[in-house]
Amino acid sequence: MSLTSSVTSMVWDETTQARVRHALRGEEDAGLIFALGARTLALIVVGVWLIIEVPMPRASYYLGIIGLFLILGAAHYVTRSQTEHPTAWTALFIALDSALLAIALIFPNPLSDAPWPIQGNLKIHNDLYLYIWLALAAISYSPILVIWTGVTTMLAWSLAVWWVVSLPETVTEVNEHLATPADPLWIDQNFGMIFDPFFVSITGWANQVVLFLIATGLVAAAVWRSRKLLIRQARAERARGNLARFFSPNVVEQLADSDDALAEVRTQEVAVLFIDLVGFTRFAETLEPVAVVELLRTFHQRTAKVIFEHGGTIDKYLGDGIMATFGTPKPGAKDALAALHCACAVRDTLDAWNKERSAAGEPILRAGMGLHFGAVVVGAVGDSRCLEFTVIGDTVNVASRLERLTRQRNRSIIVSGAVIEMARAQADSDAEKALMKRFDRIEDAELRGRSARMPVWAPVSANEPPAAPTAAPPAAG
């Protein structure tokens, strides 16, 4: 399995797909309930219109039909909410609705005073009402139910039409012996037959069936496409959610649109920042486990916000510490400068948090930060079940050791000369150049694994030891 496919499977695994299917079923249920409500409202509106426009007692027949529709809708809602097989019951009630609709549209009103042959109801385009039924089915968000509604509606309509055709007084183009087109009487006979009150057009019925089924297929395809679009959107948001755990928001969109952004393994220069709470293990022993987790969560949230604001990427959480990188997944023009800004901003954020804690009678927390700039290997490590996008190399080790050095030197931030040199080269504005003046070189550090002492720098502030003077700018180490 390729690394790209491993990342994809992590983002769109079977569990996620099952959740999406469950969500779609929930939307189908909500759509059906909404469709029932919309149908009820439409029936009430139609009923009010009939009372106004149609005289009694003729209107009472149509009001009775509307009442039957309302009863079927209520029975559908109650049965679906209580049964273990809601889809089967929905299919049954759709079929009943289709049959009642065909009866209402074709059979004449028995309370009407004017004589009206039943064949006449097929001449006034009552079939157009069937499309409203199809539109209501689309709200269900289920292509299967749309197709079932279309098929059952047209089946009920066709059975009713053919029952009318079977009546002895019905005239059709099939049972009438018409003249040929060459006969002068052909036009008169055809038009005469069309205007015959007992005439039913077989060709017209066939057109109704074909057009309605085509419309059914188009509506079902539109609903299916909407579902696919929803799944793709859920998949994309799932990908963005996973990426947001690793990267700052300003690069999530770029990574989400790339198929191999995590698969590429490369060497590049980045700034690595380690942040760690000093003495937290001993302090945590005095707290309840829930309080420890809540404290760490607050620390991580406040610190991560600052890191993301400065374009950094959280590589990993290390218990009471954080490892962040600047320049991943792609290098920027001012990575070292951004990392330096971020370290100062994190310190200011923690100082503000400590003021809140002190005012609440809680002990203050001290953090140490180590920052280094250099070459690292960037890529994803692990297997398909557990992947981690990370950086490895000597630069990471040096940054970690600089963070530990803050305890020995009693400093909140210690950065390598490589960071200062690169940040100076990247500083353009007066504000960026002013940041450089906030750091002074202190006593060179001896780090484990390095034969030569490394020049290191720390911020100048009232609550930090004074910086050791230096005559020359440091070399990158």
pLDDT in tens, 303-315: 999 999 998 988 8
d(CA 426, CA 130): 70
Averaged pLDDT of the chain: 80
Same domain, 235 and 359: no
CA dihedral angle for residue 211, residue 217, residue 219, residue 220, rounded to 10 degrees: 160
Count structural domains, the chain: 2
pLDDT of residue 340: 94
Share of the chain above pLDDT 90, in %: 27
d(CA 312, CA 326): 5
pLDDT of residue 256: 63
Domain holding 199, by residue range, is 3-241
pLDDT of residue 187: 55
Same domain, 362 and 424: yes
**Inside any domain, residue 251:** no
Name the domain boundary from 207, 241, 275: 241
- In this prediction, residue 448 has a pLDDT band, given cuts at 50, 70 and 90, of confident
**Inside any domain, residue 254:** no
Query: Which of the listed ranges 50-59, 197-206, 295-304 does the model predict with the highest average pLDDT?
Result: 295-304
CA torsion sign, 276 to 277 to 278 to 284? negative
Which residues, in sequence order, are CB contacts of 474 under 8 Å at separation 6+? 417, 420, 421, 441, 455, 457
For residue 435, the one-letter residue type is L
- In this prediction, residue 151 has a pLDDT band, given cuts at 50, 70 and 90, of very high
Distances (CA, A) of 317 to 103, 271, 325, 355: 69, 17, 12, 25
Name the domain boundary from 184, 206, 241: 241
> Which position has the token pair 């039909």?
65
Same domain, 300 and 445: yes
Same domain, 265 and 227: no
pLDDT of residue 76: 80
Q: What is the pLDDT of residues 325-384, one digit of tens each?
A: 999 888 889 999 999 999 999 999 999 999 999 999 888 899 999 999 999 998 777 766
Name the domain boundary from 241, 272, 294: 241
Same domain, 229 and 318: no
Average pLDDT over residues 17-40: 68
**Inside any domain, residue 162:** yes
- In this prediction, residue 104 has a pLDDT band, given cuts at 50, 70 and 90, of confident
- In this prediction, residue 184 has a pLDDT band, given cuts at 50, 70 and 90, of low
- In this prediction, residue 385 has a pLDDT band, given cuts at 50, 70 and 90, of low
Average pLDDT over residues 422-441: 89
Question: Packing angle between helix 143-165 and helix 86-106, nearest 10 degrees?
Answer: 30
